Each structure stands twice: as structure tokens, then as C-alpha cells.
């Protein structure tokens, strides 16, 4: 982030979320590894990617390029996915990503466009050295995302927003949302 932004105080933000979070909810919100592994351990099944939307374009819209330090005219890949249990078909996570397409190598971009593997697995396969910086976390009503989790629009999702930095440049900003009732124990 630029000098106008300071690093998020994750522990203060966790305390500010209201009702206490379970251990697993805290792990999901602050892990700097691939959340897919955590979800697979929790669910006892492999996760698969369900691609909901994906398009290229300029970073238009309120806050779309926030935290990415984009150059003028730089195109971004916007994508929305679900992580779904392969056997049960249960959706465990919804994610929106804004990705600087110009900053990725061709293999990584092709892997994202195919939409077959979770992002963390693609980064590991490509042996990309990255850093994840959490820039936001909290709770919110499910709203339109309720349909993905068979819940009411007023039910609560926990979320985190982070950016991935590679070669000293931010390459993506991702917001992951989880139905809190799945992870309330522990």
C-alpha cells in the first residue's frame, strides 16, 4: 500500500468484529497460507473451484483498484468463484478477486483463466514467492451471497480482504467470504 495507508492491526480488527469468533473462524481470517487447505481439513473433502464470473477490463468502479497501485490504462482480471466440496457440493467460500493481469506470467494467467484450481495451489505449482497482506476483515450480512450458502440475506458472513504481493508489486486483491455458522465451533 502507499504511504497513506498503514498495515491493518489484525488483532484489533478481530476484537472489533463483535461476538467472539471461534478458533477456526480466526484461523480462516488471518491465515497467510492457502485457505483451501484449511477448508479441506475442516470439511474432510477436496475443494473444487466453481467459476461464477470472469472478465478483463480497466479498473473502473469505486475502490476497484484499491491497494493494487495500478498504472494508468492497466487492465485487470475480475473474477468471482466459489470453493465447493467435491463430494457434497457444499459451498464453503465465496471470493471476489481483482488481479493485475499485466503483472502475471503467462502460465499463471492461463491457470487463472481456466478456473480449475484454487489460487493458492496455482501459486504453489508455479513456485511463486508471494506475501499476503490482510487489509480488512470483519462480519457482514450475507445479502446477495446468501444464495450460495442456502442462508437468509440477514445471516452473517465473515470476510477478509487481502492483497498478494510478488516481486515487490501488488498483483491481486481478494475478498473471501465464509458462512459463519459453518465454522462456529472450535
Model confidence over 8-21: pLDDT tens digits?
A: 555 555 556 566 77
Q: Does residue 102 fall inside a structural domain?
A: yes
Q: In the prediction, which pLDDT does 116 show?
A: 76
Q: Does residue 37 fall inside a structural domain?
A: yes
pLDDT at 3 over 60: no
55 φ, ψ to 5°? -155, 155
Report pLDDT digits (tens) over 161-185.
999 998 888 989 999 999 988 877 6
Q: Which of 65, 92, 69 is nearest to 78 (CA)?
A: 65
Question: Residues 6 or more apart from 33 whose CB is under 8 A from it?
Answer: 120
Q: Which of 143, 158, 133, 157 is nearest to 66 (CA)?
A: 133
Q: Does residue 4 fall inside a structural domain?
A: no
Most confident region among 82-86, 103-107, 136-140 by mean pLDDT: 82-86
Q: Does residue 100 fall inside a structural domain?
A: yes
pLDDT at 108 over 60: yes
Mean pLDDT of the 1-9 span:
42
Q: Does residue 69 fall inside a structural domain?
A: yes
Q: In the prediction, which pLDDT does 68 show?
A: 81
Beta bridge partners of 79: 54, 97
pLDDT, greater one: 95 or 17: 95
Give the CATH number, domain containing residue 78: 3.40.1410.10
pLDDT at 83 over 90: yes
Q: Does residue 5 fall inside a structural domain?
A: no
Place of cell 491497494: 67
Q: Does residue 2 fall inside a structural domain?
A: no
**Set of cell numbers at residue 158:** 465473515
- Is this structure's pTM higher than 0.85? no
Residue 152 domain boundaries: 10-183
Please state the domain count of the chain.
Answer: 1
179 φ, ψ to 5°? -70, 115
pLDDT band for position 144 (cuts 50, 70, 90): very high
Q: Does residue 3 fall inside a structural domain?
A: no
Question: Residues 6 or more apart from 112 whose CB is under 8 A from it?
Answer: 77, 79, 99, 104, 119, 122
pLDDT, greater one: 177 or 7: 177
Amino acid at each position: 500500500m502507499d504511504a497513506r495507508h498503514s498495515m491493518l492491526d489484525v488483532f484489533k480488527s478481530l476484537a472489533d468484529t463483535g461476538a467472539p469468533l471461534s478458533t477456526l473462524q480466526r484461523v480462516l481470517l488471518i491465515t497467510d497460507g492457502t485457505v483451501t487447505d484449511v477448508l479441506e481439513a475442516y470439511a474432510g473433502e477436496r475443494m473444487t473451484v466453481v467459476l461464477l464470473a470472469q472478465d478483463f477490463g480497466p479498473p473502473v468502479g469505486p475502490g476497484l483498484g484499491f491497494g493494487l497501485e495500478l498504472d494508468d490504462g492497466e487492465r485487470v482480471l475480475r473474477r468471482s468463484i466459489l470453493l465447493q466440496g467435491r463430494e457434497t457440493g457444499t459451498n464453503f467460500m465465496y471470493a471476489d478477486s481483482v488481479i493485475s493481469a499485466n503483472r502475471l506470467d503467462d502460465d499463471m494467467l492461463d491457470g487463472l483463466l481456466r478456473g480449475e484450481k484454487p489460487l493458492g495451489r496455482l501459486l504453489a505449482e508455479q513456485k511463486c514467492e508471494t506475501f499476503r497482506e490482510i487489509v480488512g476483515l470483519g462480519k457482514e450480512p450475507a445479502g446477495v451471497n446468501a444464495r450460495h450458502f442456502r442462508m437468509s440475506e440477514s445471516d452473517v458472513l465473515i470476510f477478509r480482504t487481502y492483497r498478494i504481493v510478488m516481486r515487490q508489486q501488488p498483483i491481486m486483491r481478494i475478498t473471501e467470504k465464509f458462512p459463519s455458522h459453518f465454522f462456529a465451533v472450535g
